[in-house]
Structure 1
Amino acid sequence: MLSNKPWLRHYPVEVPPTYNYPKQNLAQFLIQTAERYPQVHALDFLGKKMTYAELLEKSYRFARTLQRLGINKGDRVAIMLPNCPQAVIAYYGTLLIGGIVVMTNPLYMPRELEHQLTDSGARLIVTLDALVQRVQNSMGTKPLEFILVTSIQDALPFPKNLLYPIKAKKDGMAAHVTYNEQVLSFKELLKQSSGDPIQVPVSADKDLALLQYTGGTTGFAKGVMLTHSNLVANTLQTKLWFYRSRQGMERYMAALPFFHVFGLTVLLNQAVALGGTLILVPRFEINQVLQTIHKKKPTVFPGAPTMYVAIINHQAIGSYDLSSINVCISGAASLPLEVQTRFETITGGKLIEGYGLTEASPVTHANNIWEKRKTGSIGIPFPDTDAKIVQPDTLEEVPLGEIGELAVKGPQVMKGYWNQPEETYKCLKDGWLLTGDLGRMDEDGYFYILDRRKDLIIAGGYNIYPREVEEVLFEHPDVEEAIVAGIFDPYRGETVKAYIVPRAGAVPDADELKQWCKEKLAAYKVPKVYEFRYSLPKTLAGKVLRRKLIEEEAARNNSEQDSVNFDKG
């Protein structure tokens, strides 16, 4: 086994290579934790706290609300909310009746929303009062059966709840909702429903818990079918990896959105399984996040690299106490070494890079938290997870150290794409999931991701991996953020362009950056074009949208001559 899975040599003694995952409803974690730690705070939302006993009771109420509305096992329930108590209640309430959750991004525009709601066949959506009009606009030709409306105000402590309408009006978020037989009050429905226990039996291996839509970087997003078993397994795999966790005592900084599967598993599902407290943040706003860490003392802070970049570069970082943070797992994008090193120095905690994708619930790999880890690596496969580097066309394993496509297999791998058997067939082969990511494995079984196959830059016949170039740019003292993409070049086919966000007060120069890169990279990898920006386009999970930058570039080329520094050399 060790020759086939060399990574097992580097497992901590506390982590078993295999585990017996219970065949249960995903919501069973909440039931068990509420029995064990009824008075531990499950949620802390801007100062308003809710115990596990209260959360379970409200989840039962929501489950019975759904049944009263005729929503039953297998029906799809969309949740279009930021991180707030109502999102957690709706999530577990839906799971308790065997419903299928469709997590929906609150930033979606009507076209995106219409596709997701129509494709999933959602019968009901839970959303904010400020978003009702957008939902109605998106589903004008095929209205949902029910829109359950809540407000951030409903979850706030006194006196914030009284002041919220003033702030909402100031921020342009004031909403006037007309209630009727279709548009109903979330708060009132919960009051009218019983909090008696309810759990509809499910077949954990067959029944879906979640329809999670992929980012849709090309065309419309696909619905990833994740079963109760998929999500139970990945929750327990992350728990096994975090073997020094303290039951009923950890405090989770919940800045990653729950509507992103990374946040859903490593925050919501894991915290509930461990009896931890979720310190909910509706969106990542750097000053609020730093103040929250300073005051609330979270011990676990999963995030995206851009979140850690914002923290280490904050001008007043020295005035905040971040020493409570013990463990951070970074996902959604590659973690630059410079960011990891500085963050660990500032906090004294561990920041490790992991890897996953929506189709795997999502985590498949991580570096050891307290044991051997390798710079630039996504780490080693989780318990019961197999991985290999293959030729994408033939699925033959490539020689050790060579570059190919990462394929993974394990209990967390999806059932397939919703209503898309052809797309499922393309990426699921004999239980192996083709990830679309180019990588390699070393002799110790540590894996390295070079880039998405579609992000590979081919310039003058040379393969260039954006991550390698980005690592070098991040090391420059004047660079806060950097991302690299391939843009059209009439001579080389493609050339390398760097998008740079300078550090506060720094004024980097394109020639200086080019010289910096030339000293560390082969000439063909050095960016030829540099664009300096105040910010980079990101998802709410903090992932930089490289595709958005490429689309901007194409639109700009069609309309006007590029005005950035350009060197044909």
Structure 2
Amino acid sequence: MEDSAHSTRTPMKPFGESIRSPFASVREMWRSAIEAAPDSPFIHSFERTLTFAEVDERADRLAAALHRSGIGPDDRVAVYAQNDPLFVIGLLATWRLGGIVVPVNPMNTARELRYHLADSEARALITIPGLYDTVARDALDGSAVQVTVVGEHQRWVQENSAIRIETVPVPTELPAGVITAEAAYSSPGELPAEPGSGAADTAVLTYTSGTTGRPKGAMNTHGNLVFNAESYIEITGLQTGQPILGIAPLFHITGMVGHIMLAVRAHCPIVLSHRFNAEVMLETIRRRKPVLAVGAITALMALADSPARRDGDFDSLESVFSGGAPIAPALGDRLERVLGAYVHNVYGMSETASPTHAVPRGERAPVDPASGALSIGKPIYNTTCRVVAETGEDCRPGEYGEILSRGPQITPGYWHNPEATAQAFVDGFLRTGDVGFVDEQGWYYLVDRKKDMINASGYKVWPREVEDVLYSHPAVSEAAVVGVADAYRGETVKAFVTLKTGAQATEDELRDYCKANRAAYKYPRQIEVLDELPKTATGKILRRVLRD
């Protein structure tokens, strides 16, 4: 679809212009939405719809319940749910008290959740029944969490060839310190005076992996979030009331900003369906007719390839944006034919509150003739980017180097980690760790990752996280993990191991062991047992040789 076909689309400001948000904090942005559109739909979740006012009332009552449990300004509240209304309500309730949200990947195991709770020093946890019973109950043991909120939700269930929607209730027997969201919603409670939130105050701790392999909490500020909400409005051309397809996970920075923050700023509904399933998502699209989709290329591919797809399914889509992994030119062309809309690249990371680069609306990304790479876009509003060599000098157009970014969307640093913060910045620019180049026209291209990070379907996996699990297996002597090409995920995780003398372990056994201790996107799909791993003269394992 061409932009000119939709007269409601506002002209896009050139990236060279500056923009600013009229709001200093997410709280101010939310209050403005409530005043402007209280009765407008804000969340569509299967057959249920909640208005802005209804979500506000639930958030206030949940905030009151948290307040009664001692939660207040600057306290960390972990939100551990799928793409459910409770996730959004939990965010707003935390910010109503001046707290800091810790979004947790719902695919995380108890071991991983335990780390996030401990590192953030979270004092509250908001979750759903299934995750509470299978993961959180165990992870909470010995934690500093004072109160846990469990809220019912709806989910899809596949039975043979049919899919049905069911409500998952909260367990009737709950231990002390655990309350239900439904009890909070039915009890008004008393709220403290609303604390002020400035642009520099931390709104979210978005956990990512760094050069040490330990997940680090990027301190995304209120200013970071509201600026990129403003950026997304300009980039996408979204108009008031136009539905946003909630295809990206809400815990991820793309879902957090490209769905929730954008919806709040534009007074638009978010269309949620618990967790991704192509057939469920297609039915949701038919019913809710979203105008905008911002998601991983693998999810867009799954929609395009689904046998459940019908002609006309994507007619409502006016804009499609993809982040998380570069798009191959041939794949972009194929998706455009199926979706009816050109897929624009956006580029960013947790530390940048989503985009620093984007392909401008109405333009097409050029393809580098030498590498065949499709451009990730141009630096967006108020954002300055550089490509620097190992010497720290700026590269000339076409020369490979590390991409650096500076702008109002970029985190001031990592939670309680000044060393990592110092390493991440140079002369006020964030070091992305990604290798690329810029052409004469200012288009940026991503060539490779400087770090050994694996990018599986847009999810980042640090090899040491997987290696640490393998080393804990009694039969494993050495382990090395690399990313290998995968037609569907872009990259997938592969492990090479050697076994202890006399020990035995099958590849399936090792894979199942990793699967039980790491999120589903992290465990190695491929495992190869070798007699010896290649090493340097000093004994360092050569991942590069294994990858090659």
Q: Does the pair score TM above 0.5?
A: yes
Contact 1:253 1:280 in 2 (8 A): yes
Letter in 1 for 2:409: Q
Give the aligned partner of residue 219 of structure 2. Answer: 225
In the alignment, residue 19 of structure 1 is paired with which amino acid?
I
Residue identity over aligned pairs, in percent, reads 29
For residues 396-475 of structure 1, what are the structure 2 equivalents within 5 Å? 396-455=393-452
Shift of the alpha carbon at 1:85? 1.1
C-alpha spacing 1:498/1:37, structure 2 compared with 1 (3 Å): closer
Corresponding residue of 1:277: 269
- Which residue does 2:363 correspond to in 1? 371
Q: 2:509 — aligned with what?
A: none
**Superposed CA offset, 1:449-488 (max 9, x none):** 012113599xxxxxxxx99xx9xxxxxxxxxxxxxx9xxx
Alpha-carbon displacement from aligned partner over 1:270-329 (angstroms, at most 9, x marks no partner): 011101111112111011111111222111011101011112222343445211011111
Q: Using structure 1 for the length normalisation, give the TM-score.
A: 0.74
**Aligned mates of 2:400, 2:59 — CA distance in 1:** 47
- Secondary structure of the 2:361 match is coil
Contact 2:279 2:308 in 1 (8 A): no
Matches within 5 A, 1:305-316: 305-316=297-308
Give, in angstroms, the shift of residue 145 of structure 1. Answer: 0.8
Relative to structure 1, the CA distance from residue 194 to residue 144 in structure 2 (aligned partners, 3 Å threshold; closer, same or farther) is closer
Could you tell me how far apart the structure 1 residues matched to 2:123 and 2:13 are?
47
- Whole-angstrom distance in 2 between the partners of 1:347 and 1:312: 7
Aligned equivalents of 1:327, 1:544: Cα separation in 2? 30
Query: Compared with structure 1, are the counterparts of its residues 51 and 87 closer, same or farther at alpha carbon in structure 2 (3 Å cutoff)?
Result: same
Q: Note closer, same or farther for the CA distance 1:180–1:406 as it changes in structure 2 (3 Å cut).
A: same
1:149/1:559 Cα in 2 relative to 1: closer, same or farther (>3 Å)? farther
Q: Match of 1:359, SS? A: helix
Q: 1:98, CA displacement in angstroms?
A: 1.0
- 1:245 aligned partner: 238
Contact 2:72–2:98 (CA<8 Å) still a contact in 1? yes
Q: Which structure 2 segments of 5+ residues have no match?
A: 1-10, 158-163, 368-373, 458-462, 464-480, 490-514, 534-547
Whether the aligned pair in 1 keeps the contact of 2:156 and 2:274 (CA below 8 Å) is: no
Once the two structures are TM-superposed, the CA of residue 13 in structure 1 deviates from its matched residue by: 4.6
Distance 1:13 1:117 in 2: 41
* Map of 2:173 onto structure 1: 178
CA contact (8 A) 1:322 1:347 kept: yes
Q: Secondary structure at the match of 1:222?
A: strand
Shift of 1:23: 5.2
Number of the residue aligned with 1:512? none
Which of 341, 357, 365 is the equivalent residue of 1:349? 341
Higher helix share: 1
CA distance in 2, matches of 1:197, 1:254: 32
Q: Determine the structure 2 residue equivalent to 1:151.
A: 152
Cα 1:497/1:304, change in 2 over 3 Å:
closer
Root mean square deviation, CA, Å: 3.3
Are the aligned partners of 2:94 and 2:100 in contact in 1 as well (CA < 8 Å)? Answer: yes
Paired position in structure 2 for 1:138: 139
**Cα 1:497/1:423, change in 2 over 3 Å:** closer
Looking at structure 2, the residues matched to 335 and 544 of structure 1 have their Cα atoms a distance apart, in angstroms, of: 23
State the distance in 2 between where 1:130 and 1:438 align: 40
Q: Answer whether contact 1:251 1:278 (CA < 8 A) is retained.
A: yes
Is the Cα contact below 8 Å between 1:60 and 1:198 reproduced in 2?
Answer: no
Q: 1:89 to 1:387 in 2, by over 3 A?
A: same
Shift of 1:237: 1.5
Structure 1 position 268 matched with structure 2 position 260: yes
**Preserved CA contact (<8 Å) 1:366 1:382:** yes
Q: How far apart are the structure 1 equivalents of 2:482 and 2:380?
A: 37
State the number of aligned residues: 461
Aligned 8 A contact 2:244 2:271 in 1: yes
* C-alpha distance 14-452 of structure 1, shift in aligned 2 (>3 A): closer
Name the residue aligned to 1:187: 182
Q: Aligned AA for 1:413?
A: I
> Any conservation in 2 of the 1:60–1:197 contact (CA below 8 Å)?
no
- Equivalence for 1:383: 381
For 1:400 and 1:193, how far apart are their aligned partners in 2? 60
**Does 2:101 correspond to 1:101?**
yes
Structure-1 residue corresponding to 2:194: 199
> What is the Cα deviation at residue 97 of structure 1?
1.6
**How many angstroms does 1:93 deviate by?**
1.3
Specify the SS of the correspondent of 1:240. Answer: helix
Query: What's the TM-score, normalizing by structure 2?
Result: 0.77
Deviation of residue 164 (structure 1)?
A: 2.8
The runs of 5 or more residues in structure 1 that have no matched partner are 1-10, 157-161, 169-173, 458-465, 471-484, 486-493, 503-538, 561-568
Aligned AA for 1:387? C
2:58 maps to 1:58: yes
One-letter code aligned to 1:72:
G
Residues 70 and 195 of structure 1: is their aligned pair in 2 closer, same or farther, counting only changes over 3 Å?
Answer: closer
Structure-2 residue corresponding to 1:209: 203
